[in-house]
Chain A
Amino acid sequence: MASTQNTAGGNGKSRLTFADVKAGVTTAAAGTLAGNPYLPQIATIIDIIDETPNIKSFRVRFDDEAVMDALAFDPGQVGQLGIFGVGESTFAINSSCSEKRYLQFSVMKAGEVTSALHELNVGDKVGVRAPMGCGFPVDAWKGKNILYIMGGIGSAALRATISYTLEHREDYGDITILYGARTPLDLTYKYDIEDWQIRKDIDAVITVDRDFPGWEGRVGFVPTVLEEMAPKPANTIAITCGPPIMIKFVLQGLQKMQFTDEQTYTTLEKRMKCGIGICGRCNIGPRYVCVDGPVFSMAELRELPDEM
């Protein structure tokens, strides 16, 4: 595991100075964010994948080869992807941690930055600040069954973690993936889905919200399908990400199935600006989604004000 997590960076509880940063005292100052964590690295788009009618995946490579070589991140960590002149937004890094050729971000066209990103072509320049935040505790999950429950573009936030557990398949028990979207057209990473369905060592259930011409797979909302699947909580970690309303019902369902708060994880998104725990934008009570999250266990979330 890459030690890029930025909590309690070995310096205990003291304030840093320019000298400390220069000396590399803080792990938060390591890697691409050394010195000036506001300064994006310039990267080039090397590939664009049309995932759905409104989601594109961008594969980007840092122009500075040394930065590219040194890049290491944990599954579940995020990055700020931006266009100079428009702004930055936070996206999950959804390429595998073992992928050394590029970082992949999936972008749903929605607001100012995402719409501008959708206009870009291969070869265009973007600014990237990554990795940021804390990833999933995949080491602590060794030996456990893993249940992924995701909806829509929530898949992007879990893709690197799915890749990690599949690449280290022998370290984990049963792996189950429940993925749903509104229509078959809205399913992301169809190339992954094909792979999951061929593999014998994982159980993948793909569902769409309602009947759709030509769709012969499962039909039903994710929380409903989850209830039908009735997963057993014994020695299992459940990880969910999707639209807020889906997460809400999935969490209720898991609780009904006797999953404890410690067994249940999600990854949150919030409006962010600095991405480094300073600007004050993405707090939920005393925690910042950008540095304390975006990954939270249900046990952690219960301590916080209801401001999800």
Chain B
Amino acid sequence: MKFLAQDKLQAFLGHLAGESRVVAPVKGDDGVVLFRPWSPGTEVELDVLLPKQSAKEFVLRQSETYLRYGYAMEGEAAAQVDDSHEAKVVLDDPAERKAAQDTAVTAHAALVVEPVNDAPAQVIFGLRPCDARGFVQMDNVFGGYGGFYFDPYYNAKREATTLVAVTCRDPRSTCFCTSVQGGPASTEGADVLFTQVEGGFAVEALTDKGETLLASAEFVDAAQAQVLYAETVKETAEARVDAAFDLEGIQEHLRANIEDPGWHDLAMRCISCGTCTYVCPNCYCFNITDEMVEGRGERIRTWDNCFNPSYTLETSGHNPRDTKSNRFRNRFSHKFWYYPEKYDSLLCSGCGRCITHCPTRIDIREVLSVMGSERTAVPATTGEEA
């Protein structure tokens, strides 16, 4: 185990910033702590346990252009196409119109489509173990687990990213990482784990990528006392996270309770804003749209929100998830039943952001305690929600 003195942190990050982008929790002028690109001299905010958003944005961009295309109108050919088009529109001689159409087709022949996949090296410093684990949990869907498709955009960024996690000294009342097989000092997904001790950090490399980082001169070997102190910090933190619900059998219970009216009751106060999906470190569902201006365009993917009624709305007007409780049920079932069934991984790392940021105080722990356990027979409700 290594030791990094508190006053060497800036030097270490500065060192990293010389080789790659560094992202860290930074307090903005508005007082909000978010993961932001770090520059030398900026203070890293580790006293606030969780930045408002997870760090997923730096691997799965909130909005990402993945194709650029152009009905290429450059050069001589393009100029001619434009001229002839302008001129022929007013002519109604069929032969000339045909010629104009042929030219237009030629212009289309110059269609160029290029993938865009920028993945510069980056280090995300100061994320909590739950956020680091969030990436691991998403990896399976993007990594073609079980023979499905491999996503080159997510994986390029993922591979170019080094995660430096920091043990949670002071878990919040909304933390429930220990209920989902994690913990305040969980190492899953992290390349390096920092643990705050007196005067600095006890530091352990967990992967080859992590080893490389610790080769930096700012690190010294940790003293035995520091190692023991770090262990105590971890154990104390672990003990402070309450058990929220029982994971055992949750998949089967969710399956059995699929038509249970309890979903309706729990979803009543949801306003379908989708905040939980955006702040979540592993809600990954996305939309795809095209934007084009003057013959040049982009195909873009953006975070999406399965609570939005238009998420599943079909052109015909048919909506397979036409009630709020069905959409509500989908998110929780996705995380604890659908995803685990397909990818052998949970899709929740217990950060609790969805609890703290929900405007109507919906608590995932309550939802799972109720719907993820055996339900006694309840008479079906007669009313359907609006």
Interfacial residues, chain A to chain B (CB-CB below 8 A): 6-11, 13-18, 20-21, 26-29, 33, 35-40, 42, 84-88, 110-111, 114, 121, 123-125, 127, 244, 269-271, 273-274, 276-281, 283-286, 291, 305-308
Distance of A62 from chain B, by nearest CB (Å)? 13
Which B residue's beta carbon lies closest to that of A291? B148
| Docked pose: A238 CA to B281 CA in angstroms | 44
Say whether B341 contacts A39, CB under 8 Å: no
| Docked pose: A18 CA to B156 CA in angstroms | 8
B232, CB-defined interface residue at 8 Å: no
| Docked pose: A36 CA to B115 CA in angstroms | 9
A–B complex contacts, Cβ < 8 Å, 20 sampled: A7-B148, A13-B146, A18-B155, A28-B144, A28-B147, A35-B152, A37-B151, A38-B66, A42-B111, A84-B67, A87-B290, A110-B315, A121-B101, A124-B108, A270-B314, A277-B141, A280-B334, A286-B337, A286-B338, A306-B259
Say whether B288 contacts A88, CB under 8 Å: yes
Distance of A30 from chain B, by nearest CB (Å)? 11
With contacts A85-B290, A270-B320, A285-B338 known, is A16 near B143, CB below 8 A? yes
Interface centre among A6, A86, A278 (most CB of B within 10 A): A278
B386, CB-defined interface residue at 8 Å: no
**Chain A residues whose C-beta falls within 8 Å of the C-beta of B286 in the assembled complex:** 273-274, 279-280
Segment at the interface with A among B120-128, B237-245, B305-313, B377-385 = B305-313
Say whether B316 contacts A110, CB under 8 Å: yes
Say whether B111 contacts A6, CB under 8 Å: no
Interfacial residues, chain B to chain A (CB-CB below 8 A): 66-67, 69, 71, 101, 105, 108-109, 111, 113, 115, 139-153, 155-156, 159, 258-259, 284-290, 292, 297, 299, 301, 304, 306, 311-316, 318, 320-321, 326, 329-330, 333-334, 337-339, 341-342, 344
**Chain B residues whose C-beta falls within 8 Å of the C-beta of A15 in the assembled complex:** 139-140, 143-145
Q: Is the interface of A mostly helix, strand, loop or mixed?
A: loop
Say whether A38 contacts B337, CB under 8 Å: no
Interface centre among A21, A33, A84, A306 (most CB of B within 10 A): A84
Say whether B297 contacts A84, CB under 8 Å: yes
Which of A18, A87, A276 is B149 in contact with, Cβ under 8 Å? Answer: A276
| Docked pose: A14 CA to B139 CA in angstroms | 11
| Docked pose: A1 CA to B342 CA in angstroms | 26
| Docked pose: A97 CA to B190 CA in angstroms | 48
Which of B141, B149, B290 is A28 in contact with, Cβ under 8 Å? Answer: B149
Say whether A6 contacts B108, CB under 8 Å: no
Which of A7, A26, A85 is B150 in contact with, Cβ under 8 Å? Answer: A26
Say whether A307 contacts B321, CB under 8 Å: yes
| Docked pose: A17 CA to B151 CA in angstroms | 10
**Chain A residues whose C-beta falls within 8 Å of the C-beta of B315 in the assembled complex:** 110-111, 114
Say whether A273 contacts B288, CB under 8 Å: yes
Say whether B143 contacts A40, CB under 8 Å: no
